[in-house]
Structure 1
Amino acid sequence: MTLYQINKNNLEPIRKINFKYEKDLQKLTEKNLDELFNLEFVETEFTVDNLRIDTLCFNKESNSFVIIEYKKGKNYSVIDQGYSYLSILLNNKAEFVLKYNENLDANLKKSDVDWSQSIVIFIAPEFTPYQLKSIEFNDLAFELWEVSKFSNDTILFDKVNVSEDKESINTVTSKNTKVNKEIKKYKESTHLRKKSKKVKEIYSTLKEKILEYNDIEIVPLKHYIAFKLNKKNVCEITLQKNYLNIWIDLDYENINDSLNRVKNVSDIGHWGTGNSYIQINEIEDISYFMELFKQSYEDKL
């Protein structure tokens, strides 16, 4: 497929161009971490145990560290490098927390960090078929992002997705057991496990309705499943025995709630990032919830 730019009714091809230096990609990413990944920047070129981390970040939603590695070459193993970074992280927790506190003038404690949700992000202009194949496991705490730069000063960050139907890495290897035991990749199936048929049906129907909206991203985390648009949470869902808890990321005062079912939980502890709460007990409740979802969705456009 060829992309064109319209210039006075003439079509001019938009060509893919290369980054001259890997550092250019790194600087661009670090300057736009919040926009790209909703992450806090902590440190560039952070060295621990003689291993250099290109970019160290922190995910405030999951309270976990994120390591970013940039690549132009193709002769490297994503699996080996990813496990090396996670091993360094888990074996040097105090150093990572200290660096966060120094650079962000914070008072983070090791116990505040959810180390199980740590991830490594690899960013490159392209990955080889071998590298893409190597991450086809449903529980690897690695993400691959292909970045394309174009001649009209536009850029595309495209995440390589892995299906939940793939095998676990533990079925094919027994190495890196410390990382495999402590790091956990949360999936939708994690939240659906041992739930009733009724709740699974409600969630499935609701999810189908939500995905009718464009560009929705489903991000399962430890305590909930987040539905995002443009990296911003639209709502978060937890599955209970007989119902769904849903937090909507729209201020309570701004919600048009004709049935008066939404509760303001801004002063109450809760898992989701949204402060407007609603409980869904039956499939018949979904149509009303979608009126609320639409409001939060349009707010994130």
Structure 2
Amino acid sequence: MSGLKLFHTTMSGATEVAPRLAETEADVQGLVETHMETLLGVQFLASEYSTGPVHGGRIDSLGLDENGSPVVVEYKRGLDAGVINQGLFYLSWLVDHRAEFEHLIRDRLGATAAAQVLWSSPRLICIAGDFTRYDVHALREHRRSIDLVRYRFFGRDLLGLETMASVSGRAPAVRRVRRRSTVLAVKGGQSTALDELAQALDETLLGLGDGVNCVQRKTYRAYQRLRNFACACPPQKTKLLVYLKVDPKEVDLVPGFTRDVTGLGHHGTGDLEVQLRTLQDLDRAQDLFRASYAAA
């Protein structure tokens, strides 16, 4: 995987653990579906979902991500040039059959979850043994949120996932949201400094790497790679709250700047709360932002 080598080390030496593909596509699919929330940040809903006799297909996996966006997951054992087009074919079907999908969610997760589906940003995740440069280029030609994820098995019980490329189908919406947030801050009596801080935070999180997708919900804005890595809440009177996917136990918590919110109710996802009051706070949080991004 991009030249990455894995070694098993002992006192007597080191032995390379050779990467391998799955024996069958079903081996990859079964493992990911069993641990989908941990691996992808997606709640598993259905496997081999039939699109009906007219459409004549089966969606490998259906899920709902942590922001409420519908997710289609397609798998290929090795390299397959048709995986993106096949996935987009199923994603288009899903968007055209919203009521059916919401009925599925109502059965699995309840009426509240079904009423909060975010149809503005449906996602396609393709998991395969490899992708070509043509696959990566093709992503830029689509107006959907797509993630290309390469897998490898190592030994008997290790799985590696590498995000090869990601594109957001909502880039224009991100720019509109940024301007709207400025207006809301001014109307709400927020200071110019806090408004500038919110814009600087937005630019910082979007600039951490390629393929960052910004998803706007009513109570927070999620910054997403394969999974959410940051959730920013609307400005409060004197500060901004950002929640990160960083283990608070691995951070030297600073009162008034970082807080462990594990088990505490809050908007967005993540157990580490970062409180930003000034641009200096934003600079102090850079390493935390990068750590959360790298883990997504």
Q: TM-score, normalised by structure 1?
A: 0.66
Pair 1:243–1:228, CA change in 2 (3 A): farther
Structure-to-structure mapping, 1:127-206, within 5 angstroms: 127-137=131-141, 139-151=143-155, 153-162=157-166, 184=170, 189=175, 191-193=177-179, 199=195, 203-204=199-200
- 1:119 aligned to 2:115? no
Pair 1:82–1:6, CA change in 2 (3 A): same
Amino acid at match of 1:92: H
CA distance in 2: counterparts of 1:134 and 1:229, whole angstroms = 18
Residue 25 (structure 1) aligns with: 28
CA distance in 1: counterparts of 2:258 and 2:157, whole angstroms = 47
Worse-matched range after superposition: 41-50 or 79-88:
79-88
Aligned length: 264
Pair 1:78–1:194, CA change in 2 (3 A): farther
Structure-to-structure mapping, 1:1-301, within 5 angstroms: 1=3, 2-49=5-52, 50-59=56-65, 61-72=66-77, 74-102=79-107, 104=108, 106-108=110-112, 111-137=115-141, 139-151=143-155, 153-162=157-166, 184=170, 189=175, 191-193=177-179, 199=195, 203-204=199-200, 220-223=214-217, 224-226=220-222, 235-237=230-232, 245-248=240-243, 258=255, 272-273=268-269, 280-286=276-282, 290=285
Q: Which runs of 5+ in 2 are unaligned?
A: 183-191, 247-251
Secondary structure in 2 matching 1:236: strand
Q: Which runs of 5+ in 1 are unaligned?
A: 165-182
Q: TM-score, normalised by structure 2?
A: 0.67
C-alpha displacement of 1:79: 4.5
Percent identity, aligned pairs only? Answer: 20
CA distance in 2: counterparts of 1:81 and 1:221, whole angstroms = 25
Pair 1:62–1:138, CA change in 2 (3 A): same
Amino acid at match of 2:73: I
Secondary structure in 2 matching 1:72: strand
Residues 131-182 of structure 1: per-residue CA shift (max 9 Å, x gap): 1221135843211100011236322111123478xxxxxxxxxxxxxxxxxx
Secondary structure in 2 matching 1:148: strand
CA distance in 1: counterparts of 2:225 and 2:136, whole angstroms = 25
C-alpha displacement of 1:101: 2.7
CA distance in 1: counterparts of 2:64 and 2:160, whole angstroms = 22
User: What's the Cα RMSD here?
Assistant: 4.7
